[in-house]
Amino acid sequence: MSKVLRAFVIQLGVFAVLASGVYLMPYWVSPPYPIWVLVLIQASVAALISCKLGLPCWWRWIQFLMPWGLFVAFELQINPWFGLAGFVVLWLVFANASKERVPLYLTNNTTRQAFRALIEQHFVQNEAVENASSEGSDHQAKPVQPVHFMDLGCGLGGNVVFMAQQPEVKTSIGVETAPVPYLLARFFSGLRGGQVLAQDIWKTPLQDCNFVYAFLSTEPMPRLWQKVQLEMKPGAVFVSNSFAVPDVDPSEIWELSDARQTRLFIYYL
C-alpha cells in the first residue's frame, strides 16, 4: 500500500472511531461538542498512530495538519473546486511521487559542470594519454567513443539540453512521465537540443547508452541497479545523484561545492 493511501486509511479509521464516540457520547455528556475539539482529537490520534502503522515518522506532521486544513477550509467557506484544482496541479507536477516514490528533484548547474569533467576524465583522457605518448604533447584529445547520454527522470530537461550542447555527446535523451515536467522538458529540448520522451524508466532500454544519470530516491535504486547491470555495456558509466546503490561500493564519489553539498555516486561498469 502506498504511503498516501495508507495515510488516508488511517485518517478514515480514526474518523470512524471518533464518529462512533460522538454517537455514544450523549449518554454521558449532552451535545453540542466544540468542533475544534473533535478536529484536535482526529489530528492528534492520526498523527500518533501513523509511525506505528508503517508511515515514516515525519508523516506525523502531515497527518496532524490535514484535518486542520479541512476544518479551516470549511470555516472560511472555501469553494471545494479550489481544493480539487490544487490536487490536480500537484498531481500533474509530482505524479511520480505516488507511483514510484520519486519526488521532483532538479539538478543544478554545478552538477552539470561535473558531467563535463566526467566526460573529459572517462571518455577523453584515456585516449589523450595514449596518443600523447605516440604523437607528442600537441595532440588534441578526442573521445574514445561518442557519448550517448540518458537522464532517467529528466524533470524539466536541463541536463538533456546541456549534454546535447557538448561536442563529445552524440545523443542526449531524457525520459519523464510527470505531465507538466515532461511538457516543459519537451519544449526546452525542442528549442535548444536533445530529445525528451514520455516514457517509464523501467521500459527505457539502456543498451545503447554509455552515460546514464539518475536523481531519484532510495526507493528504486536496487531495482535500477539490476537494470543497469543487465543492460549497460562494459566501459559505460552510471551516475546517481545523492542516492547510492545499497550494498554496492561506488567506483568514485564526487562531493561538489554547491549549496546543498551534492554527492555524485559514480559506477564504472
Instruction: Over range 129-155, report the average pLDDT.
Output: 66
User: Cβ of 250: how many Cβ atoms within 10 Å?
Assistant: 17
What's 109-268's CATH class?
A: alpha beta
Model confidence over 72-119: pLDDT tens digits?
Answer: 888 888 887 777 777 677 666 665 655 555 667 788 999 999 999 999
Over residues 245-257, the pLDDT tens digits come to 999 999 999 999 8
**Does the pTM of the predicted model rise above 0.95?**
no
The pLDDT confidence band at residue 238, using thresholds 50, 70 and 90, is very high
Q: What's the CA gap between 91 and 207, in Å, rounded?
A: 32
Write out pLDDT tens, residues 26-40. Answer: 888 888 888 889 999
pLDDT for 114 equals 94
pLDDT band at 137 (very low <50, low <70, confident <90, very high): very low
Mean pLDDT across 128-132: 48
pLDDT in tens, 165-214: 999 999 999 999 888 888 999 999 999 999 999 988 999 999 999 999 99
Domain boundaries, the chain: 3-78, 109-268
Q: What pLDDT is attached to residue 179? A: 87
Grade residue 126 by pLDDT with cuts at 50, 70 and 90. low
Neighbours of 264 (CB within 10 A): 20
Examine the pLDDT at 154 and tell me if it is beyond 60: yes
pLDDT at 241: 94
